[in-house]
Amino acid sequence: MKRYSLPAIVLISLFILVLPAQMHARKKSGKKEDAVRVTLYLNGNHDGTGERKRVDGFLMSAMLNDPEYFEVSSSPDGERVRYISEDVDSLVIMDELAYVKRKCRPGGMLPGPVKTRWVRKVYVGHGIDVYSAYFITQSRVNNTVLIETSMNWYLSIADDVAIGVASVICDSPYYVGVPDVHRALVAHYFGKIYGYDEFAERIRGGEFAGLDDAVYAWENEYSALPVSRREGKLKADQIGVQALVASESASRTVGWKRMRHEAVFPK
| C-alpha to C-alpha distance for 252 and 86, rounded to whole angstroms | 7
| C-alpha to C-alpha distance for 257 and 249, rounded to whole angstroms | 13
Mean pLDDT for the stretch of residues 183-208 = 98
Tens digits of residue pLDDT in 42-66: 998 877 777 889 999 999 999 999 9
- 179 pLDDT band, cuts 50/70/90, is very high
Contact 153, 122 (CB under 8 A): yes
- 181 pLDDT band, cuts 50/70/90, is very high
